[in-house]
Chains A and B, each alone.
Chain A
């Protein structure tokens, strides 16, 4: 059996396990659909993050770079605020019956906004050089 090389490979496998577990739970209707879809979403998120991390580590083995750490943290912070704003907007749209959003669509909005905004903010900050 092939040995698992590093943390990222382990996390990818863990993500696949969560994804498959969530998929079969939905397929076999073992648990509440929202719980099963959360497990499936967690698996997908873990796989995507681990693959990005693995690619980045291959390109830049020096992960102790303070600038990248700082900018990554700021990127995640901005992403959190963006997601919060988007969710707040959708909440009020839903409240005034301008848009009808169900739980599954909320999950999708959070999922897509968090990942995309984090990537966009981090890329912008990496290009800019610093947050100040």
Chain B
């Protein structure tokens, strides 16, 4: 799964720590989500999207290849 979290964080001038604190998770969790090593739950994906003022499908997306797997 790919994300635009890093780009949107930069847009809203948020650090990983600040985003993590707003949602109530550890900074490492944001780091792993950004690097595509951890797939968040639907609830967490919506929480992140809400903080980044975007729709969930604008923040998280799969490539065609990943969807076919």
Q: Chain A interface (Cβ within 8 Å of chain B)?
A: 60, 62, 64-68, 126, 128-130, 132
- CB-defined contacts of A62 to chain B, threshold 8 Å: 20-21, 24-26
- CB-defined contacts of B39 to chain A, threshold 8 Å: 130, 132
By the criterion CB–CB under 8 Å, are A130 and B32 in contact?
A: yes
Partner of A129, one of B21, B32, B43: B32
In the bound assembly, the distance between CA atoms of A66 and B35 in angstroms comes to: 17
By the criterion CB–CB under 8 Å, are B26 and A65 in contact?
A: yes
12 residue pairs bridging A and B, Cβ less than 8 Å apart: A62-B24, A62-B25, A64-B25, A66-B41, A67-B26, A67-B32, A129-B32, A129-B35, A129-B37, A130-B32, A130-B38, A132-B39
By the criterion CB–CB under 8 Å, are A67 and B24 in contact?
A: no
Interface bits B1-41 vs A (CB < 8 Å: 1, else 0): 00000000000000000001100111011001001011111
| Residue of A whose beta carbon sits closest to that of B21 | A62
- CB-defined contacts of A66 to chain B, threshold 8 Å: 25, 29, 40-41, 43-44
By the criterion CB–CB under 8 Å, are B37 and A65 in contact?
A: no
Minimal beta-carbon separation of A63 from chain B (angstroms): 9
Q: Beyond A62-B25, A62-B26, list 15 extra A-B contacts (CB 8 Å).
A: A60-B26, A62-B20, A62-B24, A65-B29, A66-B25, A66-B40, A66-B43, A67-B25, A67-B26, A67-B28, A67-B32, A67-B38, A129-B35, A129-B37, A130-B38
In the bound assembly, the distance between CA atoms of A63 and B58 in angstroms comes to: 28
In the bound assembly, the distance between CA atoms of A66 and B29 in angstroms comes to: 9
